[in-house]
Amino acid sequence: MSVSKGLGLERLRASSISGERQVLFAALAVFWAWLLVRWVYDFTLGRWGVGPGAGENFISPAPVEAVAATLEGSVVALGPVRLPVDWLAALVDGVALAIDIGPALATGAWYTVVITSVAIVLGFFIAVPMAVLRVYGGPFRWVSLAYTELIRGTPLLAQLFVLYYTPYLAIWLNDMETVGQGFVPDYAFWIAIIGFTINGSAYQAEYIRGALESVDEGQLTAARALGLSKLEGIRHVVLPQTLRYAIPAWTNELVYLIKYSSLAGFITVPELYYRASRIASSTFEYTPIFTLLALVYIGIVLSATELMSDVERRVSVPGIGGADGRQQGGTE
């Protein structure tokens, strides 16, 4: 292959990848515009009596359902072309269903996004000291080891049930006047936050521990030689490198939390999966409803993945952490 032909193929491939990302970003923009409009309306205008009301549809699905019914009614008379028309009728029927249950899915997505976001952030502040204690804690590292192994070794659902049915925690949360009032969710939501934070922190601690051990020991020695204490050397020299190495694993943990937030439905938190399963149980339209549910989860997961990839690119240093940084370091 000639050099010019090779360069042409590279440009064509780069153009194709750029086009795919543009389509992805456009789809995600539409997806988040829908969610944001629904959330803002349901929590403000809808509750103030403006428009159809919180949780109600902006448009009626009836006209779309009529089109789907017409297509389904004409399938038998079409003979050889009945199959594509049948598929089109199913697609139109799915659109009508999406319009019908869209508000419920959007509200459930709010709970899913909040639980995941708060749990990953709060878990980070537990995971970092746990990971540092595990690597540099000397005889006290068993404290971190016991914590991570206990949490990782027991099912997340069992942890949620223990927290949910622990009377002191439930009573304490129920006694708080603001819990369950107005915009503030009830106590099951806060128990879910606590449970996912504890569970996520154990996994994050292990990811950060692995990244800590990948940093050259000479980095801390050099920091001590400059006059920094051991704690200052870890804080200002080792951890900044560690956290860059840990970003890909964090992305994995974030995706894990998004999907497993569905377990919060088992303690009555009305998140995404809980709402979809309740609707499916009442309508028996399991396949289209869970297909729409999967699309919402994919939209959230792809958004989180792209966000973390952007963070990784922004904080990468040539030769230190991040795919771009390693590639740049390799060419030097």
Q: Is 212 inside a domain boundary?
A: yes
Mean pLDDT of 192-221: 91
In a domain, 98, yes or no: no
Q: Is 176 helix (H, G, I), strand (E, B) or coil?
A: coil
Could you report the per-residue pLDDT of 122-152, keeping only the tens digit for each?
999 999 999 999 999 888 899 999 999 999 9
| Inside any domain, residue 238 | yes
Residues in contact with 170: Cβ distance below 8 Å, sequence separation at least 6, in sequence order: 164, 187, 191
For residue 93, being part of any structural domain is answered with no
- 326 has pLDDT over 60: no
Q: Which of 131, 129, 109, 118 is nearest to 249 (CA)?
A: 131
Residue 146 lies in a domain: yes
Q: Of 115-124, 157-166, 212-221, which range is least confident?
A: 212-221
Count CB-CB contacts under 10 A for residue 45: 14
> pTM of this prediction?
0.85
Its domain, for residue 145, covers: 109-315
Cβ count within 10 A of residue 168: 7
Name the nearest CA neighbour of 296 among 24, 30, 31, 26: 31
Query: Is residue 291 a part of any domain in this protein?
Result: yes
59 belongs to a structural domain: no
Closest of 273, 261, 219 to residue 244, by C-alpha: 219
Residues linked to residue 320 through DSSP beta bridges, in sequence order: 317
Q: How many domains does the chain have?
A: 1
Cβ–Cβ < 8 Å for 110, 55: no
Q: Could you read off the pLDDT of 45-60 as tens digits, one per residue?
A: 888 888 888 888 888 8
CATH code where residue 203 lies: 1.10.3720.10
| pLDDT of the residue at 331 | 41
Q: Tell me the average pLDDT across 57-77.
A: 83
Tell whether 292 is covered by a domain. yes
Q: Please answer whether residues 116 and 313 qualify as being in contact, where contact means their C-beta atoms are separated by less than 8 angstroms.
A: no
Mention every residue, 6+ apart, whose C-beta is less than 8 A from residue 25: 306
CA dist., res. 168 & res. 154, Å (int): 22
